[in-house]
Amino acid sequence: MSVEATNVFLTGATGVVGAEVLRRLIERPETSVTALVRNSASGQEAEERVKSLLESLGYRDFEVFNRVRPVTGDITKHDLGLDASTLTEIKSTCTHFVHCAGKVKLSQSIEEARRHSVTPAKSVIELASASDRLQKVEFVSTIGVAGKLEGEVPEERLCGVNKYHNTYEQSKAEAEVLCFNAIDNGLPMSIHRPSMVVGDSCTGQVSQYQVFYHLCDFLSGRRTCGVLPRFGTQMVDIVPVNYVADCIVDSLFTTASVGKIFHLCNGPSPDLEMEKLRNTVQRIYGEFEVDCIDRLRLPKWVLLTAAWLGKNLGPKHIRGSARALPHLLAYLGRNQVFRSNETQRWMESRGIRRPDPIDYVDRIIRRYIQDSQAPTHKEAENASSVESHVKHATGGASVTAPASEEMVTST
């Protein structure tokens, strides 16, 4: 029996989640992909970027290259910055739409945040709605849309939230409102809210080291000279990228999930308590002779005051860490539990089991340190110490480098 051919329009293919979604789509022989890609700042063309991405995913087959068509655009522009002929072709050929693209930056203005969240959401909805062959749409949001809501966060529309930790969360929540309106008007769409996305639970691999890994560096005490907050029973919520991508792609090819909101997160786990995670970080960093420092525990308000002083009055080399610290402390101060019971039941009924943190936390941290200490060709020629090598796969950020404000939040 022949399988119906599908053509998936994908945004964010070069991102952490998007790359793994692309990998799973490629594994479906009947599926072709139209990938929205920006020309890079270095001038690299969209086709070259996609080819490099596919090769990094392990694909060097011409047949695979032929099934992934890059189109140049810009999610901050009307109609995703696509020209008229490309728009017409997408509307006439694409059967499924997956929107993963976005910009995770906590210090951006609300106008900039909306350009990267609300504008593309509106464009994708309009494009999918005009598709002649539309079957399904998947929208990747964030668990951060819960904002400052305390207690349990349900797997449903969050209509009462009006306070957020940052403009990124607010703009994603506003984008969700557009999605709910579209669903109410008949668009076959599902929404996914991942928490902190980490590496593959089996290999530890991830295309970019973000969020959780900067938190690990923070817990090592290397950024704060050994001064850490009192964590109490605070927990962190993480989710492996393979689970996130599996859930998105599974939902994409069934209309039974239309209107559903999936919480792609872990929920409470003793293995993710901050103190236990701190001990895990210390143990694994120690395996690689990366020293951790734990000199003093202070209330969070004291650290916030110190961060303000460091950001405004401190020497240049500590200002990056000082700017990032309030965002980390805001995350650690959340009194929230993300419910995912319905999501787990749904996914398990379809053969997708969420990995247990105890089975992968060591692996993802170990992979991070291994990759961070792997020298590039140029560094291998000039290396004088281990510290000169911790710059692989993180865009130049090292284990001891200040955290970027773009990296300290969820996807």
**22, 75: one domain:** yes
Give residue 286's domain range: 212-236+270-336+357-388
Task: Let me know whether 174 and 228 are in one domain.
Answer: no
338: helix, strand or coil: strand
State how far the alpha carbon of 343 is from the alpha carbons of 125, 141, 150, 321, 350, in Å: 24, 15, 20, 36, 11
Question: How many CB atoms are located within 10 Å of the residue 107 CB?
Answer: 15
The encoded tokens of residue 98 equal 């997956």
pLDDT at 309: 64
Domains contained in the chain, number: 2
Does residue 165 lie within any of the structural domains?
Answer: yes
- Domain membership flag for residue 411: no
Cα–Cα–Cα angle for 35, 263, 189, rounded to 5 degrees: 50
- Are the beta carbons of 241 and 20 closer than 8 angstroms? yes
Instruction: Give the pLDDT score at 290.
Output: 92
Residues 6+ apart with CB under 8 A from 283: none
Is residue 245 one of the residues assigned to a domain? yes
Half-sphere exposure of residue 390: CA atoms within 13 angstroms, side-chain side: 17
In a domain, 306, yes or no: yes
Instruction: Give the pairing type, strands 136-140 and 189-194.
Output: parallel
Q: Which residues contact 104 (CB under 8 A, 6 or more apart)?
A: 168, 210, 406, 407, 409, 410, 411
Same domain as 332, residue 231: yes
Please report, to the nearest 10 degrees, the dihedral formed by the alpha carbons of residues 155, 411, 160, 181 taken in order: -80
φ, ψ (nearest 5 deg) of residue 208: -140, 140
69 with 217, same domain: the answer is no
DSSP H or E stretch at residue 189: strand 189-194
- Are 183 and 43 in a shared domain? yes
Q: What pLDDT is attached to residue 380?
A: 38
Alpha-carbon distance of 199 to 213, in angstroms, equals 10
Vertex 218: Cα angle to 217 and 224 (nearest 5): 120
CA angle 152, 155, 160 (to 5 degrees): 65
Q: Tell me: do 27 and 15 sit in the same domain.
A: yes
Is the separation of the CB atoms in 199 and 364 below 8 Å? Answer: yes
d(CA 145, CA 410): 10
CATH value at residue 160: 3.40.50.720
Domain end residue (candidates: 264, 279, 300): 264
- In this structure, is the dihedral angle defined by the CA atoms of residues 405, 366, 234 and 245, taken in order, positive or negative? positive
Residues 134 and 281 both lie in one domain: no
Q: Residue 386: which residues within 8 A CB-CB, separation 6 or more?
A: 289, 290, 373
pLDDT at 199: 98
Beta strand spans in 81-141 (E): 96-99, 136-140
In angstroms, rounded to a whole number, what is the distance separating the alpha carbons of residues 46 and 11? 13
Residues 188 and 62 in one domain: yes
Q: Which residues pair with 337 in a beta bridge?
A: 152
Our separate counts of H helices and E strands in the chain read 14, 13
Residue 176 burial (10 A CB sphere; 0-12, 13-18, 19+): buried
pLDDT of residue 400: 33
pLDDT of residue 378: 39
Judge if 285 and 378 occupy the same domain.
yes
* ∠ Cα 367 101 70 (to 5°): 95
Q: Are residues 255 and 317 in the same domain?
A: no
The set of residues, in sequence order, having a beta carbon less than 8 Å from that of 75 and lying 6+ positions away, is 11, 36, 81, 101, 102, 116, 119, 120, 123
Distance CA 170, CA 310 (A): 27
pLDDT of 296 reads: 85
Tell whether 194 and 283 lie within a shared domain. no
At residue 105, the pLDDT reads 80
Judge whether 146 lies within some domain.
Answer: yes
Please report whether residue 404 resides in a domain.
no
Residues of the chain scoring pLDDT < 50: 1, 376-410
Same domain, 163 and 305: no
**Predicted local distance difference test score (pLDDT) of residue 402:** 37
**Residue 115 counted as domain residue:** yes
Does 364 map to a domain?
A: yes
Spatial distance between the Cα atoms of 338 and 147, rounded to a whole number of angstroms: 12
DSSP 198: E
Question: Of 248, 264, 280, which closes a domain?
Answer: 264
How far is C-alpha 72 from the chain's CA centre? 22
The answer to whether 134 and 288 have CB atoms below 8 angstroms apart is no
State the Cα angle at 162 between 158 and 166, rounded to 5°: 105
Q: Round to whole Å and give the CA distance between 364 and 358.
A: 11
